[in-house]
Structure 1
C-alpha cells in the first residue's frame, strides 16, 4: 500500500475491503495471495459461506501466516451477512475490534450468492461507522464462465421474450446477482484469463463496461495473482457513495436466497480420485450444478484431498495431512438453483 493511499483513509477508521464475486470465481485464491504478500500488515478475515461446510475458512486457516493468525479468521456460515447484521456481523466485528492487537485491515469474503450493496449499507450501523470504512468493493469475475455465457444472458433476447409475453417474469436471478456485484464494485478482477482467448477477454471486458454506469478499473488476473497494493488502500469510502452503486433490489426492504439450494453430501473414502472427478463432471452437467466444493478422503493416503468445481470445471489437490483424531471421510457442498434433486445427485455420486 502506498503512503498516499494510507494518508487518504479517514482518520481513526480501520479500512475494510469487501471481496465479492460469483461462486468459484477465485475469491479464496485471491485472499490467500493477499495473505502471502501482506508484508507485515495485520489482517483479519470474515468469511461468509453459503452452506454449512466451511471450505473457504478451512483453506485459509491452514495458511500459517503470522500477520493473519487463525483467531483473526471468522467464519459466518449459512447466512447472508447483510441479512444477519445484528445477529452475526456486528458481533464478529466487535470481537475483532476488541482484541488487544487490532487488525490494520479487515477483508470480508462474501458468499458467491450475496448482494454486496446491502452489506455496504450495514456500515451505517451505530458503532460501525465511527470505527470502520469500506475501503473498496472488489468484484472477482470468472472470465471463462462469463465468456461461456453461464452467468451472462443476452439482454436482447430477454427483451424479446418479455415483449412476446409481458405477463411472464423473465428475470434471471443469476444474472441479477452477477450484475449487482459489478455495479457495486470499485475494482473488477477478470480472473482465469489463462482459460480465455484474447477475443473473449475483449468481449467480456466490453460487456462489463456497458453494464456499469461509472468508470471502474478492470484488471486481468490468473489464479488471483495481483499485487495487494492495487487492492488495499482504494480509500473509496463506499458507505458514503451508495447512490453511485445502483442495484436490481434498490427500494426493497430486504432480499432472500430462495432462488438457490445447497446441501452437504457425505461419502466414503475414494478408491480412485480421478474416476470420482469424472463422475462429478458428469453429475454437474446432468443436474446443472453451479458449484461443488469440499474435502475427500482417499483410501491409503495420509493427505486430505481438496476438491473445487465450477460447473463442469474441477480442480483437485492434496492440501494437508489429516490431523490426529480428526474425523475422516468425504464431505462436499453442492450448490445450484432451486429444485436440485438431492436424492438423484447423491445416488449418482455414491
Structure 2
C-alpha cells in the first residue's frame, strides 16, 4: 500500500541515484527458501517509478527465480531489464559474468538502481569484493560506474534452527555449488549473517512471538551492527533495503559479533537478553592437545558460535584458528606467531605495531588463547574451568612439549 512517507522515501532513493553518479546496488543473500525472490518481487511492485535493473543468480540450468520475478509482474517489459545468470554462482564461477553485466547495466544510463539476487548457496563477501577493486585482467572497475549500497541477508525464521543444527553439508542436500564444495549448511548460514548491513527475518508469521524474540536475540548477538527487520511473506519497505548508504567493506568485515567482542578493550559481560550472552576466554598458557581434543569432542550444546585463536603446545610456532557454528567445528593453523619469526622480521613487526608490545609476554611473546563464545544460557564459570583443565599444568610446562600426542586436525600442515 502506497503512503506519503513511502513515496517520499523512494524519491530520496532516486535523488541518490542520478545518472551522473555511480548507480547504487543492493545485493540480496540468504539460504535457499528464505524468501529472497518473494522480497524482490514485493520491492519491484512497490517502488513507485524507480527504474530498476535486476540480476538473478541461480545454480540450476533453468533460472527458476528469474521466471518467478518475470511472472511476478514487478518489471516493466519496455523500460527495465532482468538478467539471468544460471548454472553457476556469482561468487565464483560466474564472477566474470557479474562484472560484465553489472558494468553494462550501469553504463546504459537508463536505470536508477540495480538489484542483485545471489544464489541461496552464495557467500556475500566475494560478491562484495567484486565492487571494491579493479579487475585488471578484464579491465573493469565497477566502482567507477556503480556503488554497492546495501548488503542484505534474508533469514528464514521458521527453518533457521532446523538448518542450523542439521549437521548436513550442501552435498548432502545436493545443493553444492561445484563438485568440490564440501561446505556445511550451518557455516553458510553464519557467513551470510555475519557479513551484511540489513538482516531481514522473514516468515515471522509462522513462528510464535517468544521463539521469534529469542531468535532475534541470537541474530543480534551474531551480527550486532546490521539493521534487523521482521517480515511476513517478504513484505519489506523498499527503502529499508535500497538507498540506505550503509555499506562499507571494512566496517562490514569487522561487524560480526565475535569480532566485536575480540576488539573490545575490556571483556565485561553484558546484560543478557533471552539468556543469550557471550564472553572471551583468554589465557597465556598452551593447551595440551589430547585434553583439548577430548573437550572439543563433547562440545557444549549451549555454545552457538565460537571463534578465535588457540595456542597448542605441540605446534608452538603456529597459532591455531578455531571456528564453530552449531555442529560444525573447524580447527587448523592460521599462521606464525610473531614470536616465532626470525629476529629481524619480528622486530620490524613490533616497531610497526606498538600495541603488540603492550601485550608482549617476556617469555612467550604474542602466544595466547583468545576465543569468543556466544551462546544460550552460558555457564561461563563451568566453561572456563573446563577449558582451564585442558591447559598444560606447571609440571607439563617443564617437559618436552613435542612428546605430547597430537591427533587434532591439520597437524601435518605445521
TM-score normalised by L of structure 2 = 0.51
Aligned partner of 1:133 among 142, 147, 154: 147
Paired residue secondary structure (2:162)? coil
Distance 1:2 1:46, change over 3 A: closer
Counterpart CA distance in 2 for 1:133 and 1:241 is 16
How far apart, in 2, do the equivalents of 1:237 and 1:203 lie?
27
Show the 5 A alignment for 1:179-194: 179-194=190-205
Give 3-state SS (helix, strand or coil) of 1:185's partner.
coil
- For residues 104 and 224 of structure 1, the distance between their equivalents in structure 2, rounded to whole angstroms, comes to 22
Tell me how far 1:14 sits from its aligned partner.
Answer: 0.8
Contact map agreement 1:44 1:68 (CA 8 A) in 2: no
- Computed over aligned residues only, the root mean square deviation of the Cα atoms, in angstroms, reads 2.8
Q: Is 1:92 aligned to residue 101 of structure 2?
A: yes
1:233 aligns with 2:247: no
User: Structure 1 residues 8 and 97, CA, compared in 2 at 3 Å: closer, same or farther?
Assistant: closer
**Which of 217, 237, 256 is equivalent to 2:227?**
217
> 134-143 or 11-20: which moved more?
11-20
Q: Look up the match of 2:283.
A: none
Give the corresponding residue for 2:58: 49
Q: Which ranges in structure 2 are unaligned for 5 or more consecutive residues?
A: 1-8, 135-140, 168-181, 260-306, 308-414
**Where does residue 116 of structure 1 map in the other structure?**
124
The structure with higher relative contact order (CA 8 Å, sep 6+) is 1
Q: Return closer, same or farther for 1:49/1:180 CA change in 2, 3 Å cut-off.
A: same
Q: Does 1:173 align with 2:191?
A: no
Q: How does 1:1-350 map to 2 (within 5 A)?
A: 1=9, 12-65=21-74, 67=76, 69=78, 72-84=81-93, 87-99=96-108, 101-126=109-134, 127-146=141-160, 149-153=161-165, 173-212=184-223, 214-239=224-249, 241-245=251-255
The separation in 2 between residues aligned to 1:229 and 1:21, in whole angstroms, is 19
Determine which structure has more spread, i.e. the larger CA radius of gyration. 2
Could you list the runs of 5+ residues in structure 1 that have no partner in the other structure?
Answer: 156-170, 249-350
When the two structures are aligned, how many residues end up with a matched partner? 229
- Distance in 1 (CA, whole Å) between partners of 2:87 and 2:79 is 20
**By how many angstroms is 1:198 displaced?**
0.9
Distance 1:237 1:151 in 2: 27
